[in-house]
């Protein structure tokens, strides 16, 4: 089983990912973690990504896909995983479909958490993670980028019947129950 957790910053993807890991015994594939590992281990694709990051540029889709594909070759992910932070563009989604098809682990099911913007702002500003970009102004900018660049990925999967929209407000356990229901 492959699950893509989808939603804007502050939607609760990290919280729900942890619950899904426990419930379905699937590994959590966080692009942030695999990027850091590829860079630290100085893999060829990790070094490629580092060159863009060091230059203050976004890592191109093709390099992101290469890093994810490299990670998915590990035995840890042989029965699927929970994707968090990937795919973020339609190109990445199309590439992931090809990778999963080649692996034979099945199509990804997308769980899209919807949360009103004012709730997202409240959550992000109160979560206390100390991220330098956890300000109301930067969050609103991140939400604009999400709507412009990432939201089309949801439409891509919805058109293929692979997306479930889940109300992401309320009690954490109630949200998780809605997710489990959508996955069954």
Q: Which positions are annotated as active-site residues? A: 13, 88, 127, 131, 142
Residue 16 near residue 24, CB atoms below 8 Å: no
Cβ-in-10-Å burial (0-12, 13-18, 19+) of 6 comes to buried
Give the Cα separation of 79 and 25 in Å (integer).
10
Angle at 60 between CA 95 and CA 125, to 5 degrees: 100
Give the Cα separation of 140 and 167 in Å (integer).
20
Give the Cα separation of 113 and 7 in Å (integer).
5
CA distances for 111 relative to 4, 42, 99, angstroms: 6, 33, 19
């Amino acid at each position: 089983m492959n699950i893509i957790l989808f939603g804007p910053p502050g939607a609760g993807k990290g919280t729900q990912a942890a619950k899904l890991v426990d419930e379905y015994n699937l590994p959590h594939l966080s692009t942030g973690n695999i990027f850091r590992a590829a860079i630290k281990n100085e893999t060829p694709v990790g070094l490629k990504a580092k060159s863009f990051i060091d230059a203050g540029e976004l890592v191109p889709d093709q390099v992101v896909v290469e890093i994810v594909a490299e990670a998915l070759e590990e035995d840890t992910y042989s029965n699927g995983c929970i994707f968090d932070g990937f795919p973020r563009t339609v190109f990445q989604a199309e590439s992931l479909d090809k990778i999963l098809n080649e692996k034979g682990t099945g199509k990804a099911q997308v769980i899209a958490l919807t949360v009103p913007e004012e709730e997202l702002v409240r959550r992000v500003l109160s979560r206390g993670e100390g991220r330098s970009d956890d300000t109301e102004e930067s969050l609103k900018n991140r939400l604009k980028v999400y709507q412009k660049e990432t939201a089309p990925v949801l439409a891509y999967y919805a058109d293929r019947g692979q997306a479930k929209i889940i109300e992401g407000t309320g009690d954490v356990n109630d949200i998780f129950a809605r997710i489990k229901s959508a996955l069954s």
